[in-house]
Amino acid sequence: MPRMERGTYDQDLLALLRNARHIVALTGAGISAESGIPTFRQAQTGLWAQYNPNELATAQAFRQNPRLVWEWYSWRRQIVSQAEPNPGHIALAKLEELTLSREASFTLITQNVDGLHQRAGNRSPIELHGNILRTKCFDENTIIEFWQDAGDIPPHCPHCGGLLRPDVVWFGEELPHEALRSAWEAAETCDLLFSVGTSSLVEPAASLPYVAIQFGAQVVEINPIETLLSPSANYVLRGPSGIVLPELLLAAFGRQLDET
Ligand code: OAD
């Protein structure tokens, strides 16, 4: 049965944080909630309240109404650009730094497309679902960094004239193969995996903590509410990641946090 901790953290967990050979952090929309970015299962706000993300985030929706889908992502890109990494993102960047400084490994795997982990300082997050700040050609599937703004919505690919789209994984699309391979390998080789701010509903990301358990890792869930993963986690830290992660690092590393 997982140990429910908050505030005073289990000494075994703190020792693991300080000594694990390979730490993995798997994050979902919840870690960005305290940066003001709505999670997927929260209602869409304002203008987009009447739309269901599952109906907009698909290649079929884009083919049927490219302008609507492009504008929905423009709205989300604007929210993301105005957001700042919160203490939860910053704590994971600090944990990476502390882990690498003792010659151990750290892998950050995110389902989020907001790029906030990079902005917080994590070196090379594995972006399972892409990144909303990158754009690609719908036909060639190649990243496009510059294009002529002729006022078309969506804009057109400068190479083939096809439509441009956000570089995010839509429902029914395959995840980037190399990202998924690296994430799976990290889950198989780590000895400590954090599942932070995810409802653990969407595959294949939702399987990663179970892979880690199967290969002998300890799993810690950080989420204000119960999820499907909770009963299988070794530790369940019930609270917002922006509070829990900094608290956990302070309990494990104390003054060392100021030295790094
Ligand atoms: P969800 O919206 O499904 O789940 C967000 C989780 O974060 C929930 O379990 C919340 O309880 C939790 N949460 C909310 N506030 C939090 C906080 N301050 N700190 C910690 N946790 C908090 O988002 P995801 O699990 O990320 O896929 O969704 C997974 C995927 O479903 C997304 O990547 C997206 C969506 O379909 C694609 O776009 C392909």
Q: Domain boundaries in the chain?
A: 3-35+85-129+175-259, 46-82+137-168
pLDDT at residue 172 tops 80: yes
Choice between 66 and 47, residue whose per-residue pLDDT is larger: 66
- The tokens for 66 are 């490219």
* Rounded mean pLDDT, 158-163: 96
The CATH number of domain 46-82+137-168 is 1.10.3720.10: no
Residue nearest (by alpha carbon) to ligand 1 atom 20: 197
pLDDT at residue 221 tops 70: yes
Confidence of residue 96 (pLDDT cuts 50, 70, 90): very high
Residue 258's pLDDT is 76
- Is 156 a catalytic site residue? no
Instruction: Name the residue of 40, 52, 126, 175 whose CB sits within 8 Å of the most ligand 1 atoms, as the mutation to test its pocket.
Output: 40
Burial 56-95 (b: 16+ CB within 10 A, else e): bbbeebbeeebeebbbbbeebbebbeebebbbbbbbbbbb
Would 3-35+85-129+175-259 and 46-82+137-168 be classified into the same CATH topology?
no
Confidence of residue 5 (pLDDT cuts 50, 70, 90): low
pLDDT at residue 3 tops 60: yes
Choice between 7 and 199, residue whose per-residue pLDDT is larger: 199
Upper half-sphere CA count for residue 154 (Cβ side, 13 Å): 26
3-35+85-129+175-259 CATH fold: Rossmann fold (3.40.50)
Atom of ligand 1 nearest to the CA of 113: 33
> pLDDT per residue over 211-220, tens digit each?
999 999 999 9
d(CA 23, CA 17): 8
d(CA 209, CA 64): 37
CB of 38 shorter than 6 A to ligand 1 = no
Confidence of residue 149 (pLDDT cuts 50, 70, 90): confident
SS (H, E, C) 68-117: HHHHHHHHHHHHHHHCCCCHHHHHHHHHHHHHHHCCCEEEEEECCCCCHH
Residue 153 φ/ψ region, left for φ over 0, alpha for ψ in the -120 to 50 degree band, beta for the rest: beta
Q: How far does residue 256's CA lie from ligand 1's centre (Å)?
A: 31
- The tokens for 71 are 């504008």
